[in-house]
Structure 1
């Protein structure tokens, strides 16, 4: 099953970016028409005015062309070849299921994530959203990206998967067509893996929100170290 992406919003500044180019072309066209049709006798002052007008038109045209390149269009979404689903680890308690259901639903509904995988303590606890293999919980063996997340305790954000050779690590976790992946640590023994259908899709605000949810999952799913909270 292929899930078609939502159309990307049209660039609200597209006419503003085109304004210098259109103005420059219009101005140069009017100067040529004025010279050929309405100037029977060419005066020195007229020549200077025409030269100045052509120069200003050229600057506007150049500015418009530069704006087209400097201000790129928003990234386009891609179709994901996945099937909607939600799979749990069989040994989860009801309270753990409730926590994971809340976290995954929140991530799917408030961020750019289309796939959520929660891996803690060597077990895949949940996969939800658009899945590559629904009904088959993936067995995750941490490789370069996940090992880096676990060792450093810092998230890794692959903003455009096709640019990273390490994307092969997520072939069995994310549906084909996934464009970006964010790996957020859950304590020191887990990782929250989010896939998206759009490059550069997770904003800074969303990354902060994802980190807060990962911290809450760590407090719920990971046991506290012995002696934590005891009086000294």
Structure 2
């Protein structure tokens, strides 16, 4: 369910006030049988103030960003680790996933490494397997993260069937040259540059552990 924009009323107040004032001034002019000089000056000032209010309202609509629409991801909360992993790797994955789920907008997380899923945590998708598509393959080949700010706008979203079906934003972060960390958010355009830097740092630390304990 989408979260309502708390600033919607505030942004529209100047528009409503300016429009109402303009209508009242117009009615007053029509209902006044004889216009005096002082009233003409007052009307001119009133029209100017109404115009300023309307202009302010229009500017607020453009300048103040609307909060991203937050949805409740479809799926069950879960925490799955590959059972045959060494204990240090399990500990590192548990720590890394907790940090990302509690300190960023991430609500669903999958770590794919050396051709298999090592971890799924958060809201789980219906499919537990990861088959790298064009986007994940590009991340692996170029060793550069990909941020899909609004997943529904990308035709390639069908490859993320292992995430909740209504995932709004996705970051695919390389974990060395043999894995990818896929993070799903419940709102579009919700990751900040600071979040992206934090995710990159976690991925680098995770790669150091995985490369030491898991053979190619």
Matched, 1:189 2:189: no
TM-score, length-scaled by structure 2: 0.85
Q: Which residue is 1:31 aligned to?
A: 25
Deviations 1:16-65 (A, max 9, x none): 5234324423543553466467x664234543442343143124224313
CA distance in 2, matches of 1:213, 1:167: 24
Q: Which residue is 1:215 aligned to?
A: 204
User: Are 1:89 and 1:137, in contact at CA under 8 Å, matched by a contact in 2?
Assistant: no
Q: Which residue is 2:102 aligned to?
A: 109
Matched, 1:199 2:194: no
CA distance in 2, matches of 1:156, 1:101: 23
Q: Which residue is 2:82 aligned to?
A: 89
Deviations 1:70-103 (A, max 9, x none): 5342121223221122222232011111111111
User: Are 1:155 and 1:182, in contact at CA under 8 Å, matched by a contact in 2?
Assistant: yes
Residue 123 of structure 1: how far off its partner (Å): 1.9
1:148 pairs with 130, 134, 138, which one?
Answer: 138
Deviations 1:159-187 (A, max 9, x none): 1111000101101x101111111111111
CA distance in 1, matches of 2:134, 2:19: 53
The structure carrying a bigger helix percent of its residues is 2
CA distance in 1, matches of 2:5, 2:156: 32
1:47 pairs with 19, 40, 48, which one?
Answer: 40
TM-score, length-scaled by structure 1: 0.79
User: Are 1:117 and 1:194, in contact at CA under 8 Å, matched by a contact in 2?
Assistant: yes
User: Are 2:149 and 2:188, in contact at CA under 8 Å, matched by a contact in 1?
Assistant: yes
User: Are 2:131 and 2:159, in contact at CA under 8 Å, matched by a contact in 1?
Assistant: no
Matched, 1:20 2:14: yes
Aligned residues: 213
The 1:15/1:49 distance shift into structure 2, 3 A limit, reads: same
List runs of 5+ in structure 2 lacking aligned partners.
Answer: none
Q: After alignment, is 55-64 or 93-102 more displaced?
A: 55-64
CA distance in 2, matches of 1:95, 1:59: 64
Matched, 1:67 2:60: yes
The 1:212/1:69 distance shift into structure 2, 3 A limit, reads: same
